[in-house]
Amino acid sequence: MNVGIVGASGYSGEVLVKLLLAHPHVSLTAVTSRQHAGKPLSAVIPALRGTRADTLAFSNSDAAELAARDDISLWFLALPHGTAADFAKALVPAGRRVIDLSADFRVADLATYEKYYGKHHAPELLPQARFVLPELTAPTWKSEIKLAAAPGCYPTSTLVPLAPLLAAGVVAQAGIVVNSFSGVSGAGKKAEEAYLYVERAESAKAYGLVKHRHLAEIEEQLSRCAGSPVIVQFNPHLAPMRRGIITTITAPAAAGASIESLYSAWRAAYAGRPFVTILPSGETPDSAYVTGTNRVDISAVHDARTGNFVITSAVDNLVKGASGQAVQIMNLWCDFPETAGLL
């Protein structure tokens, strides 16, 4: 099957290129970038020298021209929010499947989206889109949509450990605090003083407090799992590492809940799911061990003194938090093995 990527020169776009070039069931046929149009992929992504990237060149990003290509049945959008919606408006009506890595279609409620991101560029497509976190979204999505929204990195690290516990009534809905630490690649490729090596080395700080954009996605999905509104305190931090996310969640235990019932809920939710690793209580996940993988490692302990569960997770923000998850969605959507190209 031929696939294409719109906007493949960012960090997640580079990872997506590498995954698709090596995928056993697809052929990466088109890669677009206005900045690098005409250049071979390997000239922009030197790690791919000596591969098919030497002969596959970036093309210009024109939405109408891409929609007219009937040789490509699925497109990945590795673009900023707003811009992604502009391309989806051309590709979806043309009958192309679209997997969007931006935030444009992750939030179903238009008012919530516009509160966090500003005016939506394609609100008419929201009913045709679906937020897809493969381990949590009901599998009926595969036959119901033409546009899949791949979750964000912070939400993946939060939803995978927390959503099944809310659905099972193991944790209380009020008083949940989420602290996350992200590598600097999560900010994308941009030349800003705050992201210079001398600014970030030996330094960690909180940012985006109270109203980080991913909060909209996190709360909407948790509320669906719980069956009623869930409000969390989300505290993101920038950590001095290139990639990876570590998340620590403090959640009050529901009446009668124990660490055994928590782990039972996890095992029931993730039995047979290849990309969720449940670590023993007390063994906390380490970002170093998920880097380069499409895996989420999760663990929890119960604090008898406070009555809280302390839940931890680790993901690679560029793989399971972005491009790997997008490929996982494609695999399920197209009936490929779920792990194809990801192990």
Tell me the per-residue pLDDT of 220-265, one tens digit each, with 9 for 90 and over: 999 999 999 999 999 999 999 999 999 999 999 999 999 999 999 9
Which tokens belong to 199?
């600014």
Q: Cα separations (Å) of 229 from 50, 98, 166?
A: 52, 30, 11
CA atoms within 13 A on the CB side of 136: 30
C-alpha closest to that of 320 among 300, 304, 297, 337 = 297
Which residue reads 């705050």 in tokens?
Answer: 194
Mean pLDDT confidence for 272-284: 97
pLDDT tens digits for range 161-176: 999 999 999 999 999 9
Q: Is the pLDDT assigned to residue 194 strictly greater than 90?
A: no
Domains of the chain in start order, with CATH, are 2-150 (3.40.50.720), 154-317 (3.30.360.10)
pLDDT band with cut points at 50, 70 and 90 for residue 191: low
As a whole number, mean pLDDT of residues 4-25 equals 93
Sign, CA torsion 343/190/248/265: negative
Catalytic, 153? Answer yes
Active-site option among 153, 166, 168, 262: 153
pLDDT score, position 8: 83
